[in-house]
Structure 1
Amino acid sequence: MKHLILTLFLSFGIATFAQQTGSIVGKLTDKEASGEPLSFANILIKGTIKGTTSDYDGLYALNDLEPGTYTLIFSFVGYETQEIEVLVEPGKVTNINVPLGANAAALDEIVITTTTRKDSEVALLLEQKKAVSLETSIGAEELSRKGASDAAAAVTKISGIVKEESSGNVFVRGLGDRYNMTSLNGLPIPSNNTSKKNINLELFDTEIIESIGVDKTYNAINYGDFGGANINILSKNYTGKGFAQVDIKSGVNTAAIGADDFYTTDGPNFTGFYNEEIPNSPFTNDFNTSFDRSRAGTPLNSAIALKGGDSYDVGEDSKFSFFVVGSFDNGYSYREGINNGAPNLNSGLPNSEYNFDKFSYKTATTLMGNLGFNMDDHSKLRYNFLMLNNSEQKLEEFNGILDREDDAPEGGGFIRRSTFERTTLMIHQLLGDHELSDRLDVNWAIGYNDMTNLVPDRRQNTLLPYNNNQPNGPKSFRLVSAASANHRFFQELTEDELVANIATSFKFSKNEEEEFNGKITLGYNGRFKNVNFESTQFNYQFLNPNSQPFVDPYNIDAYFNEYNTTSGYYQIRTFRGTASLAGALDPQTYGGEQLIHAGFATLEYKLTPKFTLFAGFRVEQIVQNIDWNTVIQGIGENELDTFEWLPSLALKYELNDKNNLRFAASKTYTLPQFKERAPFLFQEEINQDSFGNQYLTNSENYNVDLRWEFFPTKNEIISLGVFGKQINNAINKYLVVSAANNLSYANTGDATAFGAELEVRKNILQLEKTVNETSLESRLSGGLNVSYLNTNQDLDSKKVNEETGYSAAFTNTEAALEGASDLILNADLSYYTELAPDKNLRATVVGNYFSDRIYALGSTGRGHLVDQGYISLDFIAKAALSKRFSLGLTVNNILNPLIERTNENAEGDLDTNNPAISAFLEKGPITTLSYKKGTNASLTLSYKF
């Protein structure tokens, strides 16, 4: 596969090179009316017939201009005409704000700035205003102004989006990870987490982002595995003068720094580039790492980033550019709280009841670079490389009741789990855009993604009181019955994927203004993924219970140092058996391939000057083969083969220059993930085991949106939208009725979602003052978006039982969707002031709220597991102290709310006819998880050379 990628890259590399166009945007104001917007003024490129007029807000835009110097003529009846010479640079937007009046404006009244097209807040808002689709874009300029530090924080500025707890994944309109898609420069990318479909957005620092587009309505050019949003990250493409910059950050987490001692697991290093192989003689306990915890130093968070870029003219018409950034970030966190199992229906008491401590150390290493070569005014070629290595080592300790009717029923049980997980993702992309004529464009892209996920030598120990009647007495392995309660676990998952896009667009029906009314686009997308997973677990089975010695929970190594595998106290076995069994070291595996071939066609046509249609049709052939060799299901294989027809329609009507009315409708699908279909037992969390369902199939989604948009000024928007979704054969996580009470996945029934969204971005106050003949600006701006959502789904236990072979007993016959909050609110307030030409201060307060949402559906008479809603508050400030030096302060999770998950009482539409449900929980809610994350504070120093 890798040789194939290299060959394809070289083949495309000798193709035609590329060139970008530029744009001019700006605002015209009326000097005779105290700077009010000047509507319907004329802007003409001298010596041509190309031009435009300003809208109600005085805004104008001239797009797709070839690089070079132009003279613009600004005119209005009764006003002095202005001629301004401006340089258009490739891939950039030149902002020219011009006051017109009875007399000519002075040069210092005309404001000219240049930035990249996707950086510019004004340009992106103009694009959103003129586009037919409902995509919302956030550029680097706005990200900096609002203090967003990564892609996850950036997208929460958009209505209906909220971050998932303890991750960088997001819920869009109440729809979680499985319903969203993430792409980089238009090409899909894999997740960095085996349990997630999408990559952690926190890994994308805003320093490498040019803009982020979030499309909550379906467009046929995108893959059809869509329900919530398609999030497309555009990586930074530098085309300016050479620069280099270094950022250094240090900070603390108040919970981690406040712990009496901070502990880590033995083995992993500071950088996160670590692996531990299975030893040659594992059945003799020949392992290199300790079961005991290690005391760490002071838990201070730190980060360093180096970045730079430059561009060079090559001959008269060509330009070469590059941008590179490398960073390393680490962070410590600590949590203490409670972690309980499912409650008993009669007593209401949880079957397991722990107090827990969790020590975590995370690292993130990023290396990104891109190369661009532009040639011949009509083509561009770009290569992008991205490497992400993120790791986490967790030390978790649980004390209390393991099983109220069996292990440590009076308390005194002890569990320690030491986990190191590392994911390395490598992305290569080659992209080309070619303007063959003023009517015909061709663009293509090819990418190769390689992901490796490792869990090397996860260790777990379980100790019980020597005597159950003495919970505070000495502990030992004497009463431990399950061999898997003490184990070492090794896992490796690899995914490699080839992705390819090609599309051609043809413009037709030129109008009187020399613009085309229509455009047809035809294209092909392909995804070819291979997945391989294997794991081996070494379980410690304890023998001779009456002679087992006492064990110190904080010196477990002493036991194994004194007693080896020949002592008769224990033996080591895998899930397949002991060393005497042939094949005992054979790993449990699953793997397979996913092939998607897709063709699409879109038509964009301006039916009238105000009414535009955008219609699309897409077909996808999807094959997902999976094979396995596991203890649960033995050796087997399964194939999901489906052909999807995916129509889409978008309509836009311009009520006037300030108001748009939009409508969109589409059909899409949701595809199950490999892990959800693999019949493999995943023991990833204490109190939370899961396995896949090979009979899982895709669900169908029907989507409709209606939205009104109002653009008061160039950087303000007020919008109100309503939407609806019908999800047939929805996929859910559920509790399997069995002695183990494991979680699995099933197509549980049909679902609906209806909601409304309100978004407001407003300049509250804007002032200008002149100091030493220099105009300085101060502004106060705010943003608010609110989303209300109502969801409902059918829960059909009989359907699940018949389709999966596993037993389901949903407490309710209907319920809300997992992860769907009724109310989501995001708000920010930003203040910016210029102190001098190269000195400014920016401060932002960001608040988020989500209401309660279902984590897992209620089963066997228990109510739903519900994540309680809470408010979060962040503060970000950045001061530019000179042209080269800046200082930043960030304080996250200021309120430090209680994070709580509860098992609710059985309420609503109960399944009283299900014989598998003997009683209903009425003594809740019972807290199953509770902790605080602490407040994170950091200081950043930046210097630009």
Structure 2
Amino acid sequence: MKLRILIIALLISTLAFAKGQGTITGILTEKNLNNEGLPSANVLIKGTTISTNTDVNGKYSLTVAPGNYIVQFSLLGYETVEVMVTVKEDEVTVINETLVSASYNLEAVVIKSYRKKDTETALLLDQKKAVEIKQTIGAQELSRKGVSDVATAVTKTTGITKQEGSGNIFVRGLGDRYNSTTMNGLPVPSNNPEKKNINLEIFSTDIVEHISIDKVYNGKIYGDFAGGNVDIVSKDYTGKGFLKLEVGSKVNTNAIAEDHFTLQGGISKLGFTNKNIPSSPLTQYNYNTLQLKSFSPIANSFGISGGKSFQVGTEGKLSFFATAAYGNDYSSKSNGTAKASVNGNGVANKNFSKYSALNFDTNTTAMANIGYKINSNNKLNYNSVFINTSSQSKEEYTGYIVDIANNGNGLIRRFNYEKNSLWINQLLGDHTVGERSKLNWGISYNSINGDMPDRSQNIFRKEANGYVLSSVSAPDNHRYFQKLKEDELAANASYDYKFNKTEQGDFNGKITIGYNGRFKNRDFQATQFNFKVNQGFTNTVVDPTNLDLFYNAQNLNNGVFSIATFRGNSQVSNALDPQTYTGEQIINGGFINTEYKFEKLTAVLGLRAESISQKVDWNTQLGGTGNDKLEKNAFLPSVIMKYELNEKQNLRLGFSKTYTLPQFKERAAFVYEEVLQTKIGNENLYESDDYNLDLKWEMFPKSDELISFTAFGKYILNPMNEVTISSSSNDISYVNTGDYGYVTGAEVEYRKQLFDFDTENSKSLSAGINASYLYSNQELNAEKVNRETNYQVAFTNSKSKFTGASDLLLNADLTLFNEWNEKNSNLTTTVAYSYFSDRLNAIGTDGKGDLVDKAFGSLDFIAKSKLNKKFGLGLVVKNILDPSINRVQENANNEVNVLSYKKGITLSLNLNYQF
């Protein structure tokens, strides 16, 4: 009885409140999706704060006072529609509208045209409509999955993994050399002398609108392609003005568990420290301190972003967007072991029972975007991005070192500080010429400084009375200085011409002609100063935590130790000449694509021609003075076909020929020494030719759902790999390991809206999963390597997988969304899981087995809440399972664990406020 009275009272109060009001309701649909409802679209009474969002079926409802209004319908990725409406007292006015693309004409509505592609629904629509076979992940999905950098972002798509401890990615089992990176379609230089691609971890998702991954080649992309091209599309602001502030904090369980989180002193925490070779480095001691400095391993971050648009005349619009952010991060690898130079019987020349690594990283990012829409047919954009990153680390290896610490009493400590500064400048143009033609162009100038200022390494042996420094080899104790400077000018231009106009006003055909050019120059130099303990002082006891007591000006002057480079000591006239190499790469390419739609079938035939010139000059202790030039003229055909099985299903086919170039440092006679391995270049390395085939079926049950299956294959002539060559120190080099190799596999992706608990208050549960299985195989031909190069190899096996290839890759996520308080507040919680199976790290030689990174999975939890219209809060827990990371050498009779550690769990808390 009481319940009935309460319900009646609520109804009476509701009717009393609604008296004198009117209702606007209806359904918002998308014409290209068979008039299905569009969820999450915004419905606004223009000039007021009264608004709502459509539910999963596109339905909406608003209550307003009687009067005349303009109702505005908008959704990112679609054109905004405004409709005049008259609302009468106690009456319901129904307005059903359809959002369409620019190729359709609407009558009796006002259209404001802009497209912003960052919502999952909009990106899925683009994927469905596009002829090219591609995958895209946008800002909305990145936020939902708690992704903060581009490297992690691309691993959330099918068939892509990231190398542990770096930002290097593998696409369908193919590593760095087979992939490429662009920003807004223009190339981006590398910050690592050993890599073709820039470390994608340095790109914060704060500057990203969406990321497009092309795993199927088309003629608009440079021909140096086999795995995939990652295109970072920067934010292009449209809309009302805003200003957003953000602060955050982060902790890693391993880092805070350290008794003393200590790194080398004398380096700024902001990440802008510049260290050059000191004056008189062979005769005077002016080097930075080697003392340890304690850190409090609690990371922090802050950022500011804002944007505003201004109307210019009757048609023009000027838009500004800028963001600046700084963040740091502490991490620790703990409970580790390591081995190096392991022979086929499992015996190691270096066997470390304890391995640890502490890291402090910083990232400072600033971006400015200026967009000028001259009119509906012409638009210009200028992007400027500055990124400064630094990484400071301390690695320690304790255990057995042959001929130095035979009793397991050795200690190797390496301090490393890397600093990279990248500056990207782009000017882009988009021009529509009549109804048939369109011109797109872009030019960019990019520069990067990648420095390793003052890397230091010391090897100790613990005796009964304390630690002494190793004096077996001069490089045991050294300081190393490295500088990389790379500049690149690039230009893109394409012209579209449509033909064969239909009665409906569409065009069945399109011809695209275009040009791409890139002109890259690299200067690299490095100098290593070896600190040799002189006779009579080799048993001097030192304090590993304060080596300044030993390495100082007084002991240098007294002859306790001496300093020399690989060229010699201060008595050698050119001792301070750095080891150098320079690289020049020029690529000029032209293409023509013909696209034609035959009812349900659309086909694109492309032909690209490129002229490639790559020149490397060097002056090093290994190869003396030398140079080498690689020239190639490439003709690259491609075919892409899309067949619309029905309005919700597509069948796609892609076939192409491409190539893969070696990189500058791979062809320069330069030695780079790490603790566990040494790498040298090979001037006889040459390019590979690649043949690519893809077949894909996809289905879009609803606007936010996807089911797809892809089969693919790649055949590679003269594949390149890192291998161990025959040498006294088991050096690694780069060689064309055989005549052929191939990769085949399958990918599946499924996105599903599982439940809609409450459509009125937008409570829903959604899930996504993508998986890929691949098989790779390549010929290993030692006779070919010995014949074509100056190196000797003896492969343990006659065939091998590709390095970086995992048989199985898996990503899965489950998201619960809840909205309340008149949709001003919401909470999104996501559980995300990633897994990769065993992955080949390096090919075995001389009876030694392959090095393999063992399988592991990673579980993350992400919670993002909008507390009200202005405040937002986020919690991210990464690597919840905290699995052991292991690398093994798979010998014939045993499996030797050569590297093992744990990363710990990372917890992040973020707060933002938008004015």
TM over 0.5: yes
Q: Does structure 1 residue 483 correspond to structure 2 residue 482?
A: no
The one of 521, 526, 530 equivalent to 1:539 is 530
Amino acid at match of 2:803: E
Task: Kindly provide the CA deviation profile for residues 769-803 of structure 1, in whole angstroms up to 9, marking residues without a partner as x.
Answer: 5xxxxx32111111001100000011111111121
TM-score under structure 2 length normalisation:
0.88
Residue pair 1:464, 1:480 contacting (<8 A) in 2 also? no
CA distance in 1, matches of 2:538, 2:511: 80
The one of 842, 850, 862 equivalent to 2:828 is 842
- Unmatched 5+ stretches in structure 2: 1-24, 40-67, 84-90, 101-111
Distance 1:427 1:536, change over 3 A: same
Counterpart in 2 of 1:322? 320
Q: Does structure 1 residue 312 correspond to structure 2 residue 310?
A: yes
The one of 834, 847, 853 equivalent to 1:861 is 847
Distance 1:256 1:90, change over 3 A: closer
Counterpart in 2 of 1:525? 516
Matches within 5 A, 1:231-380: 231-296=230-295, 298-336=296-334, 337-346=336-345, 348-349=347-348, 351-380=350-379
Residue pair 2:349, 2:401 contacting (<8 A) in 1 also? no
Matches within 5 A, 1:170-569: 170-296=169-295, 298-336=296-334, 337-346=336-345, 348-349=347-348, 351-403=350-402, 406-465=403-462, 474-477=466-469, 480-545=471-536, 548-561=539-552, 564-569=555-560
Distance 1:625 1:90, change over 3 A: farther
Residue pair 1:463, 1:480 contacting (<8 A) in 2 also? no
Distance 1:85 1:506, change over 3 A: farther
CA distance in 2, matches of 1:701, 1:715: 35
Residue pair 1:832, 1:842 contacting (<8 A) in 2 also? yes
The one of 712, 716, 721 equivalent to 1:732 is 721
Q: Does structure 1 residue 893 correspond to structure 2 residue 885?
A: no
Counterpart in 2 of 1:938? 908
Residue pair 2:803, 2:842 contacting (<8 A) in 1 also? yes
- Unmatched 5+ stretches in structure 1: 1-34, 44-51, 61-82, 99-103, 467-471, 770-774, 907-921
CA distance in 2, matches of 1:202, 1:465: 38
Matches within 5 A, 1:768-779: 768-769=758-759, 775-779=760-764
Residue pair 1:224, 1:668 contacting (<8 A) in 2 also? yes
CA distance in 1, matches of 2:264, 2:623: 33
Distance 1:222 1:882, change over 3 A: same
Amino acid at match of 2:572: L
CA distance in 1, matches of 2:376, 2:96: 33
CA distance in 1, matches of 2:441, 2:538: 71
1:689 Cα deviation from its structure 2 partner: 1.3
Residue pair 2:811, 2:833 contacting (<8 A) in 1 also? yes
Residue pair 2:343, 2:847 contacting (<8 A) in 1 also? no
Residue pair 1:174, 1:821 contacting (<8 A) in 2 also? yes
1:347 Cα deviation from its structure 2 partner: 5.8
1:291 Cα deviation from its structure 2 partner: 2.2
Amino acid at match of 2:880: I
Counterpart in 1 of 2:897? 927
Q: Tell me the C-alpha RMSD between the 2 structures.
A: 2.5
Residue pair 2:330, 2:360 contacting (<8 A) in 1 also? yes
1:167 Cα deviation from its structure 2 partner: 1.9
Residue pair 2:353, 2:399 contacting (<8 A) in 1 also? yes
Counterpart in 1 of 2:42? none
CA distance in 1, matches of 2:735, 2:643: 42
Task: Kindly provide the CA deviation profile for residues 556-584 of structure 1, in whole angstroms up to 9, marking residues without a partner as x.
Answer: 22123485234233211100001011111
Residue pair 1:890, 1:939 contacting (<8 A) in 2 also? yes
Matches within 5 A, 1:680-699: 680-683=670-673, 685-699=674-688
1:456 Cα deviation from its structure 2 partner: 1.1
| Aligned pairs, number | 842
The one of 609, 626, 634 equivalent to 1:619 is 609
The one of 618, 624, 628 equivalent to 1:628 is 618
Counterpart in 2 of 1:874? 860
Q: Which region of structure 1 is more displaced relative to structure 2, 161-170 or 626-635?
A: 161-170
1:852 Cα deviation from its structure 2 partner: 0.3
Amino acid at match of 1:856: A
1:164 Cα deviation from its structure 2 partner: 1.9
Counterpart in 2 of 1:800? 785
Q: Which region of structure 1 is more displaced relative to structure 2, 490-499 or 128-137?
A: 128-137
Distance 1:383 1:349, change over 3 A: closer
Q: Does structure 1 residue 55 correspond to structure 2 residue 44?
A: no
Counterpart in 1 of 2:585? 594
Distance 1:767 1:564, change over 3 A: same
1:316 Cα deviation from its structure 2 partner: 1.0
Amino acid at match of 2:709: L
Residue pair 2:828, 2:864 contacting (<8 A) in 1 also? yes
CA distance in 1, matches of 2:26, 2:741: 50
CA distance in 1, matches of 2:693, 2:27: 36
Residue pair 1:208, 1:235 contacting (<8 A) in 2 also? yes
Matches within 5 A, 1:128-207: 128-207=127-206
CA distance in 2, matches of 1:638, 1:88: 61
SS for the counterpart of 1:939 is strand
Residue pair 1:284, 1:564 contacting (<8 A) in 2 also? no
CA distance in 2, matches of 1:437, 1:85: 31
1:831 Cα deviation from its structure 2 partner: 0.8
CA distance in 1, matches of 2:748, 2:349: 41
1:267 Cα deviation from its structure 2 partner: 2.0
Distance 1:411 1:435, change over 3 A: same
TM-score under structure 1 length normalisation:
0.86
CA distance in 2, matches of 1:443, 1:347: 59
CA distance in 2, matches of 1:122, 1:695: 49
CA distance in 2, matches of 1:289, 1:480: 22
What is the aligned-residue identity percentage? Answer: 46
1:497 Cα deviation from its structure 2 partner: 0.3
CA distance in 2, matches of 1:818, 1:391: 28
1:170 Cα deviation from its structure 2 partner: 1.9
1:126 Cα deviation from its structure 2 partner: 1.7
SS for the counterpart of 1:238 is coil
CA distance in 1, matches of 2:121, 2:551: 66
Q: Which region of structure 1 is more displaced relative to structure 2, 226-235 or 164-173?
A: 164-173
Amino acid at match of 1:925: E
CA distance in 2, matches of 1:662, 1:543: 70
Q: Does structure 1 residue 669 correspond to structure 2 residue 654?
A: no
Distance 1:502 1:108, change over 3 A: closer
Distance 1:262 1:564, change over 3 A: same
SS for the counterpart of 1:433 is strand
CA distance in 2, matches of 1:538, 1:434: 56
SS for the counterpart of 1:141 is helix
1:486 Cα deviation from its structure 2 partner: 0.7
Residue pair 2:519, 2:585 contacting (<8 A) in 1 also? yes
CA distance in 1, matches of 2:705, 2:229: 24
SS for the counterpart of 2:556 is coil
SS for the counterpart of 1:720 is strand
1:96 Cα deviation from its structure 2 partner: 7.6
Residue pair 1:544, 1:568 contacting (<8 A) in 2 also? no
Amino acid at match of 2:460: L
Residue pair 2:500, 2:508 contacting (<8 A) in 1 also? yes
Q: Which region of structure 1 is more displaced relative to structure 2, 555-564 or 535-544?
A: 555-564
Distance 1:253 1:109, change over 3 A: farther
SS for the counterpart of 1:290 is coil
Task: Kindly provide the CA deviation profile for residues 878-913 of structure 1, in whole angstroms up to 9, marking residues without a partner as x.
Answer: 11001010100001111111000011113xxxxxxx
Amino acid at match of 1:330: N
CA distance in 2, matches of 1:718, 1:147: 23
